[in-house]
Amino acid sequence: MYRPFKRIFDIVVGLIILAIISLPLLLVAFLIWRHDRGPVFYRASRVARGGGFFTMLKFRTMVLNADKIGASSTADDDPRITRVGHFLRRYKLDELPQLLNVVGGSMSLVGPRPQVKWAVDLYTEEELLALTVKPGITDYASVYFPNEGEILKGSTDPDRDYMEKIHPIKMRLCVRYVREYSFLTDLKILALTGLTVLGLRRAENQLTHS
């Protein structure tokens, strides 16, 4: 079975990456704190494998109490995003604290992106397959939608537009991942994610030519 090896892989790779980027992480944390003297991390409640809940960590990219004054989905032009936050989101640096989730066991390096409860409540029976594996930092949907915020830019109702424009494709890709679940699949997604972040491949070609 791949699952026990996947856990070992997550721990080893997660710890190695954390060790390599520890100093840059401290610098990012300082920049966030210096902006408004607020918390460095955003602690988000997300649905875990099996339907429970866990706390997902991200670097905070928005003003204090942003989750109480706006939608769950975030467009690139959302006024709640701080100046530092725009930079972090552009290069996906806000996701790096999730390596702590990976090492801790609530997430995997590769797996369906964690969702909020209201979105999971709308899952079809087929889409519930996404809850049979651990959520991950990256997956097929992360490669297909490298910048959801750009798609939602200008929206007057980001949550509605997310469900209409992004969610259906995202869930098809989540189901695809569960059905293709393997070490080679994970390696392919990690490689595609790296190329996407570095801007070396066009997003729309990522899955049709890989």
Q: For residues 12 and 186, what is the distance between their CA atoms, to the nearest angstrom?
A: 15
Residue 188: helix, strand or coil by DSSP? helix
Q: What's the pTM value of the predicted model, to 2 decimals?
A: 0.89
Q: pLDDT tens, position by position, for the chain (210 residues)?
A: 788 899 999 999 999 999 999 999 999 999 999 988 999 999 999 999 999 999 999 999 999 888 888 888 889 999 999 999 999 998 889 999 999 999 999 999 999 999 999 999 999 999 999 999 999 999 999 999 988 888 999 999 999 999 999 999 999 999 999 999 999 999 999 999 989 888 776 654 445 444
* Token pair recorded at residue 4: 């026990």
Domain locations along the chain: 2-205
Q: For residues 63 and 127, what is the distance between their CA atoms, to the nearest angstrom?
A: 33
